[in-house]
Amino acid sequence: MMTSQSISRQPAPKRRSHWASRAWSGLVVGLMTFFLINVGLMIASVATNSVAKRWLGTWLPNGWTLEWYSAAWQEFQLGDVLLVTVQVVLSVVVLSILIGVPAAYTLARRNFRGKKLLTGLFLLPLMIPPITYGIPLATLMYELHLAGTLPGVIIANLLPALPFVILVMTPFIEQIDPNLESAARVFGARTFTMFRHVLVPLLAPGILAASLLVLVRTIAMFELTFLTAGADTQTLVVALYYSVFAAGVRASQSIDAMAMVYMIVTLIWLLIAMRFVSPTQLVSRVKEHPQK
């Protein structure tokens, strides 16, 4: 029989574990809150400065204006820059899906010699910094006279985008029962017909998720675009870099206005993408095995 003293001592480890868990949770929440507050304050500072007439040594600007956005639009030729950005993003998304989905299907359905090596080569751009292979890539682009052209920028951004598609699409394809493909072939469907009418509808969530990842990656890709773009083929992130570090004197409000344009464009792309794909679709479903 347990004594009253042993009973009173028994909950102590549980209490210590409970307090340790609460302390860890509080630490994590505090760090996340501190990070979010700092990010919010930085964005608020840039947004405020982009509409400030003059802001020196005071909590709030002396006046408000939208003239800096007009000045940034004209000075940095944002109309042309946005057009190039849209062309690059859409081209990379479409090409990466057209190439990456069949490649992911091959990796998911076929077993062949060197499959692991090929998979590693596909995923290599994800595991190493872009600048390490960006300089040799830019050198090759200049030798092929593709550097400074729109196709060259698209190819440079396509290189790291394909692994995202392959990485996302392979689990989605593995979830689909191969018997569906076999049934379609039994009824006379050719490979393209089977792929179009059977696989694509089932893979739609994965394709949308991969497109979202490629879209975000391409908008934010700086290194490869910077190394291969010319004066007329800069995307918005590269143009923003030049506006900050190029020679000459520029008003900080004008640069912050351009930064806000970049952030707004990125958010618009994300909102449009999230309208068609849910974040939960980025997580693969558990594959159901048939009961024997």
pLDDT digit string (tens) for 241-292?
887 776 556 677 888 888 888 888 888 877 776 776 655 555 544 344 444 4
Average pLDDT over residues 154-163: 91
Name the percent of the chain lying above pLDDT 70.
86
CA distances from 78 to 7, 43, 271 (A): 73, 21, 21
Res. 206 pLDDT band, cuts 50 70 90? confident
User: Mean pLDDT in the chain?
Assistant: 80
The pLDDT value given to residue 181: 77
Question: How would you class 161 by CB atoms within 10 Å of its CB: exposed for 0-12, middle for 13-18, buried for 19 or more?
Answer: buried
Q: Is pLDDT of 202 > 50?
A: yes
Q: Is pLDDT of 234 > 60?
A: yes
Q: At what angle do helices 200-220 and 252-276 cross, to 10 degrees?
A: 170
Task: Dump pLDDT digits (tens) for 16-65.
Answer: 677 877 888 888 899 999 999 998 888 888 888 888 887 776 777 878 88
Inter-residue contact 223 to 72 (CB < 8 Å) = no
Q: At what angle do helices 150-175 and 78-109 cross, to 10 degrees?
A: 40
C-alpha–C-alpha distance, residues 137 and 139, integer Å: 5
> Residue 64 — φ and ψ, nearest 5°?
-125, 145
Helix, strand, coil percentages, rounded to 5, for the chain = 75, 0, 25
Q: Is the dihedral of CA 193, 198, 201, 207 positive or negative?
A: negative
The pLDDT value given to residue 15: 64
C-alpha–C-alpha distance, residues 121 and 125, integer Å: 8
Give the contacts of 199 (CB within 8 A, at least 6 positions apart): 105, 173, 176, 181
User: Which residue, among 50, 89, 52, 80, has the nearest Cα to 258 in the 3D structure?
Assistant: 50
The pLDDT value given to residue 248: 59
User: Which residue, among 219, 203, 212, has the nearest Cα to 277 in the 3D structure?
Assistant: 212
